């Protein structure tokens, strides 16, 4: 298996790039593991307290379970990833099966902030995007997909997203094999295919 990591701040375009790659790859040859699916369950807290949580700090993620699943996939074992409800900040109790494949795309905001995760990647990129662009994309996503008021999104970005990006995300980019700009997802996907397609073929042959 070839493990390809995609890292960058919230709104950097990680998910968009992943989708573009999936459009170009044979679905039988690739699977996706999103680190952002491993947020800790906060159902034991009142909703107002959940909303005030710092979801951009490394402690907000269940890194142990993520690494267990990553290791299992690297050894050809399918995993059941917990489904997280971002609108309520709780685990739904449902799971999504991720099947082992020759190519594993791993994406996450804090992916490279964890040394143990970074060391498990065969190749990784860090998508570097200006803060104003990331904020604009974050507002669009959270308002349209997660039913959050824009003023809340802006407050959260200023209170935790931006500071945690500066403290943990941006400094982790030195662990990436390559730093790229967060524009032109189609062009970047086309370029990356020159590396991923041969890697997929080699992994499948092995």
C-alpha–C-alpha distance, residues 147 and 87, integer Å: 7
CATH of domain 2-205: 3.40.50.300
pLDDT at 203: 63
CA 101 to each of CA 1, 28, 57, 172: distance values in angstroms, whole numbers, following the listed order: 7, 7, 30, 27
pLDDT along the chain (206 residues), means of 10: 94 92 92 95 90 89 97 97 90 95 96 97 95 92 86 91 96 96 83 85 64
Domain parsing of the chain, residue ranges: 2-205
| CB of 1 closer than 8 Å to CB of 203 | yes
CA distance 127 to 182: 5
Q: CA-CA distance, 103 to 194, in Å (whole number)?
A: 14
Q: Are the CB atoms for 6 and 17 separated by under 8 Å?
A: yes
Segments in 30-114 forming alpha helices (H): 47-51, 63-74
Distance CA 64, CA 89 (A): 19
Task: Using DSSP, state whether 31 is helix, strand or coil.
Answer: strand
Compute the distance between CA of residue 198 and CA of residue 110 in angstroms, rounded to an integer: 28
pLDDT number for residue 100: 96
Give the pLDDT confidence score for residue 53 in this predicted structure: 83
Query: What residues contact residue 48 under an 8 Å CB cut-off, 6+ apart?
Result: none
Whole-number Å distance between alpha carbons of 8 and 14: 7
- Length in residues, the chain: 206
3-state secondary structure of 128: strand
- pLDDT, residue 205, reads 62
**Both structure tokens of 166:** 């500066």
pLDDT at 48: 86
pLDDT of amino acid 46:
92
């Amino acid at each position: 298996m070839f493990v390809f990591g995609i890292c960058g701040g919230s709104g950097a375009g990680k998910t968009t790039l992943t989708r573009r790659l999936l459009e170009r790859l044979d679905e039988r040859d690739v699977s996706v593991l999103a680190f952002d699916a491993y947020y800790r369950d906060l159902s034991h807290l009142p909703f107002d307290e959940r909303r005030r949580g710092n979801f951009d700090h490394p402690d907000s993620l269940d890194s142990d379970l993520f690494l267990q699943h990553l290791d299992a996939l690297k050894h050809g074992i399918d995993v059941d990833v917990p489904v997280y409800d971002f609108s309520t900040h709780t685990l739904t109790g449902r799971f999504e099966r991720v099947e082992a494949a020759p190519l594993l795309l791993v994406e996450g905001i804090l992916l490279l902030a964890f040394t143990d995760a970074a060391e498990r990647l065969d190749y990784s990129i860090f998508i570097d995007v200006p803060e104003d662009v990331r904020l604009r994309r974050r507002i669009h996503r959270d308002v349209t997909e997660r039913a959050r008021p824009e003023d809340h999104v802006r407050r959260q970005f200023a209170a935790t997203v931006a500071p945690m990006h500066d403290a943990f995300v941006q400094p982790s980019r030195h662990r990436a094999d390559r730093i790229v700009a967060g524009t032109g997802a189609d062009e970047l996907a086309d370029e990356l295919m020159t590396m991923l397609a041969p890697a997929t073929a080699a992994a499948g042959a092995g």
